[in-house]
Amino acid sequence: MKDSVLSEIRGPVGILTLNRPDKLNAWNAPMRARLVEALDELEANEAVRAIILTGAGERAFGAGQDLNETKTFDADRAEVWMGEWERLYDRIRSLSKPIIAALNGVAAGSAFQVSLLCDLRIGHDGVTMGQPEINSGIASVTGPWIMREMIGIARTIDLTLTGRMMEAEECFRIGLINRIVPREEVMKASLDLATELAGKPPVAMRLNKARFREVTEASFRECLAAGIRNQREAYATGEPARMMEEFLAKRAARKSA
């Protein structure tokens, strides 16, 4: 499990790398659990004052949920799955230290959501971001919650119902990417920003971040309750499993063509 998220410390900055590059850093239960553990470790380390989250390889920050895991879920496992996301999202939201997403390539679905839960995002021209979960039969709840908080209901409806991916320029224009730099400079720019933030007064930083969490807490808890309700209903119908099998079959056919 430890290999699924790599941890490194450079001065006052902790760097976490999602490490399933052969799967485009798609989430599974061990990687979710390991990321929570790694964030706990950095939060407890007083020498670390800022955190960077990135993805291994050049193709993806993260492709979202690993469908090979969720295609076998029933309603009960879907509810447990939502609990796993709650633990991860709550851990990111409760950090006292700033966290920056260093984006490389695709950030889709739940990886898109995790990047939006970070405080700042640095990307490059080849980054694409979006909420394509509907295309694989997954009902979106946490994604629309965080998108609505950041870009409003109209854009949230567009992205959720169409499942379209946005290019970096659009993401920057609507405020989802804070800075665009050349691909080879993403980590350097992220380290420079993280080092700057690490030098800010820590009590003020902690209190500012706690306030941001506080003003979004009620809607966060409501979306998790809705997520359990919706995922139980969806998985009980069998539609997600059918759509995921179809999606995976089409992807396999493209790869073999």
Q: Quote the pLDDT of residue 188.
A: 98
How many domains does the structure of the chain reveal? 1
Q: How confident is the model at residue 201 (pLDDT cuts 50, 70, 90)?
A: very high
Domain ranges, residue 161 = 2-198
Give domain status of residue 146, yes or no.
Answer: yes
Res 2 pLDDT > 80: no
* pLDDT tens digits for range 98-146: 999 999 999 999 999 999 999 999 999 999 999 999 998 888 999 999 9
Q: Quote the pLDDT of residue 1.
A: 59
Res 31 pLDDT > 90: yes
Res 95 pLDDT > 90: yes
Q: Quote the pLDDT of residue 5.
A: 98
Give domain status of residue 210, yes or no.
Answer: no
Q: How confident is the model at residue 250 (pLDDT cuts 50, 70, 90)?
A: confident
Res 257 pLDDT > 70: no
Give domain status of residue 228, yes or no.
Answer: no
CATH number of the domain residue 172 falls in: 3.90.226.10
Q: Quote the pLDDT of residue 63.
A: 95
Residue in this structure with the two tokens 């470790």, named with its chain if needed: 41
The end-to-end CA distance of the chain, in Å, is 33
Q: Span 160-189, mean pLDDT?
A: 98
Q: How confident is the model at residue 164 (pLDDT cuts 50, 70, 90)?
A: very high
Q: How confident is the model at residue 244 (pLDDT cuts 50, 70, 90)?
A: confident
Percent of the residues in the chain that have a pLDDT greater than 70, as a whole number: 99
Res 53 pLDDT > 70: yes
Write out the E strands in the chain: 5-10, 13-18, 50-55, 60-62, 99-102, 106-108, 120-123, 128-130, 165-167, 179-180
Q: Quote the pLDDT of residue 83.
A: 95
Q: Quote the pLDDT of residue 249.
A: 83
Give domain status of residue 254, yes or no.
Answer: no
Encoded tokens for 255: 């790869």
In the chain, what is the greatest distance between 2 CA atoms, to the nearest angstrom? 56
Q: Are strands 5-10 and 13-18 parallel, antiparallel or unpaired?
A: antiparallel
- Whether 25 contacts 4, CB under 8 Å: no
Res 225 pLDDT > 70: yes
Q: Quote the pLDDT of residue 138.
A: 87
Computed over every residue of the chain, the mean pLDDT equals 95
Q: How confident is the model at residue 175 (pLDDT cuts 50, 70, 90)?
A: very high
Give domain status of residue 250, yes or no.
Answer: no
Encoded tokens for 34: 């390991």
- Whether 101 contacts 179, CB under 8 Å: no
Give domain status of residue 10, yes or no.
Answer: yes
Give domain status of residue 124, yes or no.
Answer: yes
Please tell me the pTM assigned to this model: 0.94
Give domain status of residue 41, yes or no.
Answer: yes
